[in-house]
């Protein structure tokens, strides 16, 4: 959530937040970010699918490069919850 708010402050045109907890995804949606639930499939594929209909493709970084369908940068911000290796659906704070 803090990363999404920081992106807003810095003027990001699109913000995607990836998580699996419905309450957190609802909260980021309420601030204007696009929630992505990784339990529904590949996060990358979900974002690419959403961006298919977006006319604002990412411009080429250098002359001669093609435009990109994905995102220009990402932030990996793992919060308090970690998942148990033996039981991936179980969150383990330690």
Residue 24 lies in a domain: yes
Report the number of distinct structural domains present in the chain.
1
pLDDT in tens, 41-68: 999 999 988 887 765 556 556 666 666 6
Question: Does residue 59 belong to any structural domain of this protein?
Answer: no
Position 23 in a domain = yes
Q: Tell me the C-alpha distance between 81 and 72, whole Å.
A: 26
CB within 8 A of 19, min separation 6: which ones? 25, 28, 35, 36, 37, 38
Residue-level pLDDT at 89: 76
Q: Is residue 28 part of a domain?
A: yes
pLDDT given for residue 8 in this prediction = 92
Residue 20 covered by a domain? yes
pLDDT tens per residue, range 58-94? 655 666 666 667 787 788 777 656 777 788 777 776 6
- Domain coverage including residue 17: 2-42
In a domain, 79, yes or no: no
Give the pair of three-digit tokens for residue 89: 């659906």
Task: Classify residue 71: in a domain, yes or no.
Answer: no
**pTM for the complete prediction?**
0.70
Assigned domain for 61 exists: no
Residue for token digits 């996060």? 43
């Amino acid at each position: 959530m803090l990363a999404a708010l920081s992106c807003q402050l810095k003027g990001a045109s699109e913000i995607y937040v990836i998580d699996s907890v419905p309450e957190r995804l609802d909260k980021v949606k309420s601030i204007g970010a696009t929630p992505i639930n990784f339990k529904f499939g590949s996060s990358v594929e979900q974002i690419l699918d959403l961006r298919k209909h977006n006319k604002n493709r990412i411009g080429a970084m250098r002359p001669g490069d093609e435009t990109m369908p994905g995102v220009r940068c990402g932030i990996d911000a793992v919060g308090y919850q970690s998942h148990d290796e033996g039981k991936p659906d179980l969150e383990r704070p330690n």
